Amino acid sequence: MALLDILCFPDERLRTRAKRIEQITPAHLQLIDNMLETMYAAPGIGLAATQINVHEQIIVIDISEDKNEPYCLINPQVISHSGKEKMEEGCLSVPETYAEVERADSVVVSYLDRKGNEVKLEADGLLAVCLQHEIDHLQGKLFVDYLSRLKRDRIRKKLVKQQRM
C-alpha cells in the first residue's frame, strides 16, 4: 500500500469532474486500498479520488470511532434526500479550516461496492453529510463553495500563503 498526495484548495485540479467507472479492475481495488490508507493516515473521515488527482468516481468514508468500518463507493449517486441540517465541516483539501454548511439531513445513495454489486445506502446525520461532501468532490465541488465569496477568498489567501511557506 502507499500514501497518496492530497491536492489542496485552490488547486484547479480539484475542479475536475470525475468519470463513471464502467468496469472495476484490480487497479481500482489497489487504488481504494491506498485511498483508505491515505485517509486513515491524514487522519480524515472521507476521501474522494478527485483529491488525489484521480478523476474516476470513487469515494471512501469511515466515520467509526475505531476506524474499522470503511465504506468504499464506486459511482455513488444521491438518489433521494430529505430534511435540512447544518453541520461544521472540514476537508483534507482545505487544511485547518472549518465552517458550517447546510445540507440534506438524510439521503439515499446508490453505488457499486468493490465487487461490482449495486448497493443502496440510507444514511442520516454525520454519514449523510459525509456522503454529500465526498460526492460533491467528484463533481469538482468543495464545501467552501457553500460559503460567501468573502469567506472563501479569505480561506484561499490563507492557504496560498501557507503553501508558499
Active site residues: 134
Taking the least distance from each CB to Ni ion, the nearer of 72 and 91 is 91
Taking the least distance from each CB to Ni ion, the nearer of 29 and 98 is 98
Among positive and negative, which fits the CA dihedral 164, 146, 53, 40?
Answer: positive
Determine if 91 is a binding residue for Ni ion (CB under 5 A).
yes
Give the span between the Cα atoms of 62 and 32, in whole angstroms. 13
CB of 14 to Ni ion, least distance (A): 9
Taking the least distance from each CB to Ni ion, the nearer of 25 and 98 is 98
Give the span between the Cα atoms of 103 and 93, in whole angstroms. 19
CB of 89 to Ni ion, least distance (A): 8
List, as own/partner pairs, every contact residues 18-22 make where C-beta atoms lie below 8 angstroms and the sequence separation is at least 24, other chains included.
18/48, 18/49, 18/50, 18/54, 18/55, 18/56, 18/57, 18/58, 18/137, 18/138, 18/139, 19/55, 19/56, 19/57, 20/56, 20/57, 20/75, 21/56, 21/57, 21/58, 21/74, 21/75, 21/112
Closest residue to Ni ion, based on beta-carbon distance: 91
Instruction: Please identify, among the stretches 63-71, 89-97, 98-106, 145-153, the one whose residues bind Ni ion according to the rule CB under 5 A.
Output: 89-97
CB of 42 to Ni ion, least distance (A): 11
Number of residues that bind Ni ion (CB under 5 A): 1
CB of 107 to Ni ion, least distance (A): 16
Taking the least distance from each CB to Ni ion, the nearer of 91 and 129 is 91
- Residues binding Ni ion (CB under 5 A): 91
